[in-house]
Structure 1
């Protein structure tokens, strides 16, 4: 009976919500996600929750990334069938890589099969600001693999040169889409902007 009532409650306020929160490394995705979690009923699932679980066993190997994808997809499948309000998933989307587009499409399909509402929120910030955020206390507490600052800074700069980690105008065509330049905006304010814009 409790589960039925929970499902009815979700139905009354709309379908289960998937918030895809993406952008380059150290743009502030996790921190914004933490603040959004505080002011909504959404659960935060940031990308390093799987990366930092598997990296100690397999390093940054192809097997680690394969397992990371499998873990995420299974979590999404199970969560999309619950009566919870929704989930925030943070990740880095390389727009020049087909496999990243395929992953996003697959995640969306998982949730769409269960009638979920999907929101695309993209963050962008100046590279100098991202380099500052790369070594913030909150980031290092929640992301053990980022504690080797020189290495993580090198990875950040290399990906900046190698991949396109923000979309171009009109590239993302979903209706529920919001792009925010948060170079000079605190995470708390960004979260409030997202909540207000989508009424979540």
Structure 2
């Protein structure tokens, strides 16, 4: 299984670009809010049961996808402090155990663009972080630091490219196969 692991701060375009890459490659898309949205009605964000179950679900999906030998999967992830420090290493081990590897794609954009995007209609509809004030507080606390993430195989500034162009760049740099129709 080819795992394309998108990461970056909120509002850098992870889900938008991942959807475009899915359209190009036919890879399955597993975005992190699927799990977050499943758990939030029952557990508070960051609570011990939330953290435990979120990670179990993420890792279980990777394990099963590797087990059934999916051609490829795209995962979107926003590094933040409630994620255990060994999570990414565990993902890498699972994928490597299936004879493949995770490819890391970091999406970035300038802070003024993050602030422009943060309160978008699309983000509000999906229950994502939409408050400038909350984002600024979390950023000041270092909640979104990506320093513990692996060096990306591809780094994309999404303020400079349209989502389709970003996906095409990622596909080219990672040498991903185009979906055969």
The normalised TM-score by structure 2 is: 0.85
Deviation, 1:190, is 0.5
Partner of 1:102: 86
Partner of 2:79: 93
1:72 lines up with 2:55 in the alignment: no
Deviation, 1:100, is 4.7
1:140 lines up with 2:150 in the alignment: no
Aligned residue for 1:165, secondary structure, equals coil
1:155 lines up with 2:151 in the alignment: no
Deviation, 1:65, is 2.0
Partner of 1:28: 13
Correspondence list, 1:1-200, <5 A:
16-60=1-45, 61-94=47-80, 100-141=84-125, 143-146=126-129, 149-150=130-131, 153-163=132-142, 165-167=145-147, 172-173=150-151, 177-200=153-176
Large movers: runs of 4+ above 3 Å: 97-101
Deviation, 1:35, is 0.7
More helix per residue:
1
Deviation, 1:155, is 3.2
**Root mean square deviation of aligned Cα:** 2.2
Q: Which runs of 5+ in 1 are unaligned?
A: 1-15
Aligned residue for 2:41, secondary structure, equals helix
How big is each residue's C-alpha offset from its partner over 1:133-170, in whole Å with a ceiling of 9 and x where there is no partner? 222233333x2254xx33xx3332223212253449xx
Partner of 1:11: none
The normalised TM-score by structure 1 is: 0.78
C-alpha distance 172-128 of structure 1, shift in aligned 2 (>3 A): same
- Give the Cα separation in 2 of the matches to 1:98 and 1:64: 9
